[in-house]
Chain A
Amino acid sequence: MSETVQILEHVADAVLWQWRKQELDFPTSAAVQQHLQGCAACQLRAQAVSRLVDEMQSSHHAIQPTLAEQMHLLRAMEARFTPRAKSPALVEISHSLVRWLAPAIAILAAVFILWREEATSTSGVFSQTREAKLLITADDEDLQQTLLELALSSEENSR
């Protein structure tokens, strides 16, 4: 049977802490236990230390990364440490096609718009000719005037 040491003075807080965490060897732990049974002051301090240890642990373990923090960290590590997968040849070709095709289409579209504008402006000029005026005359008087001008001009042309 092992002998237990008797503790006559009050037990230090750090020893109560060790006792609470079961870090003491058996004789010391038994001595602290025995002392606590007869010392109300140390008993109260032991309870307080115990509460302190529990509270420390629970508040510490309440700290958890948020989902956003987890995702952010994972993305950062992936970007840095995961080797980039090589894209297949077809994807490479389509990438270069897109790279050339987009400006080519833009240029073609610009040319088409310019050509259209030119065509519109030609029809505008065309609408100014006497022959075209025949089609857009408002009344008979206008029509007669235009026909007369047309006849005169064709006569002049034939001379």
Chain B
Amino acid sequence: MKMQEHEKATAQLKFSEAELLAGCRAGKREALEALIKQYQPAVLRVCVSMLGSREVEDLVQDIFIKVLKKIQNFEGRAALFTWIYEITVNHCRDELRKRKRRRWFSLHALPQETVEQIPLEEASASEQMEAGEMRQHLRRALNQLEPKYRELVVLRDLEGLSYEEIAQARGLAEKLVKSRLYQARQILAASMKKYLEEVAHV
């Protein structure tokens, strides 16, 4: 899925990876446009799935600023898309850490009963209306996964990266990626178990 998309986008924009890199380094408008057209959907999807919210426009912008700042030093050891996934996931993890800290500070000012009533991730009313029941279950289950597991599910099962590409993007051994993903899927399936059983009996 991911590779097909990548090739399709490249073909549509008639930019090779080298041209895209050169153009972005020179600050050419067409190259910036091509980069955004090609990678904004994937960056947005990863951010939404990692953070469990659609309100990520600023985050996506920060990621592209980071990409374009770092593109001068991009050596091409990994493919451009793997590198962009790496920056995206790292940025999302930083954001999750910041949000957790902010949450911790804001929650310590509230009485305990109030804290317990707050859901982990709040989806807007319109989002709840739009999303199907299974999607809501899935989103909740995914949000409950630890970030180190969540990022692997997002990259492998949702974005379709290979184990090798994930290992490269995350700086982990391929074996570790495999075993973590196994655990992540096991946890995800367990938290969806009740729902899955209902679905299986329909």
Within 8 A of A (CB), among B176-192: 182-183, 185-186, 189-190, 192
Q: With A and B bound together, what is the CA distance between A126 and B130 in angstroms?
A: 82
* Cβ of B118 to closest chain A Cβ, rounded Å: 24
B200 within 8 A of A: yes
Query: Which residues of the other chain, B, contact A64 by a CB distance below 8 angstroms?
Result: 41, 44
The reply to whether B190 and A61 contact each other, CB–CB distance below 8 Å, is no
Q: Does B28 contact A (CB under 8 A)?
A: yes
Are A45 and B200 in touch, CB under 8 angstroms? yes
Chain A 1-39 near chain B by CB (<8 Å), digits 1 or 0: 000000000001110011001000000000000000000
CA A144 to CA B202, docked complex, whole Å: 117
Q: Is B197 an interface residue (CB 8 A)?
A: yes
- Say if the beta carbon of A44 comes within 8 Å of chain B: yes
Q: How far is the CA of A120 from the CA of B52 in the complex (A)?
A: 75
**B134 at interface by CB-CB < 8 Å:** yes
Q: How far is the CA of A63 from the CA of B54 in the complex (A)?
A: 9
Q: How far is the CB of B98 from chain A (nearest CB, A)?
A: 21
B49 engages A60 (CB within 8 Å): yes
**A21 contacts B40, C-beta separation under 8 Å:** no
Chain A contributes a number of interface residues (CB within 8 A of B) equal to 35
| Residue B129 lies at the interface, judged by CB distance under 8 Å to chain A | no
What is the CA–CA distance of A73 and B40 in the complex, to the nearest angstrom?
9
Contacts of B189 in A (CB 8 A): 13-14, 17, 49, 52
Instruction: List the A side residues contacting B27 at CB < 8 Å.
Output: 81-83
The reply on B22 being an interface residue by CB < 8 A is no
Contact of B40 among A18, A53, A70 (CB under 8 A): A70
Could you tell me which residues of chain B, from 3 to 41, have a CB within 8 Å of some CB in chain A? 24, 27-29, 32-33, 36-37, 40-41
> Taking the complex as formed, is B97 at the interface, i.e. its CB lies under 8 A from any CB of chain A?
no
Cβ-defined contact, A48 with B200, below 8 A: yes
Q: How far is the CB of A49 from chain B (nearest CB, A)?
A: 6
Residues of chain B within 8 A of A76, CB atoms compared:
61, 64
Say if the beta carbon of B122 comes within 8 Å of chain A: no
Q: B residues 70-123 with Cβ under 8 Å of A?
A: none
A51 CA to B192 CA in the complex, in Å? 12
CB distance from B156 to the nearest CB of A (A): 8
8 residue pairs A–B, Cβ–Cβ below 8 Å? A12-B186, A52-B192, A64-B41, A69-B40, A69-B44, A76-B64, A77-B36, A82-B27
Given contacts A59-B135, A72-B57, list 16 more A-B pairs with CB under 8 A: A14-B183, A14-B185, A14-B186, A21-B157, A45-B196, A52-B192, A56-B157, A57-B157, A59-B132, A60-B45, A60-B158, A63-B41, A76-B64, A77-B65, A81-B24, A81-B27
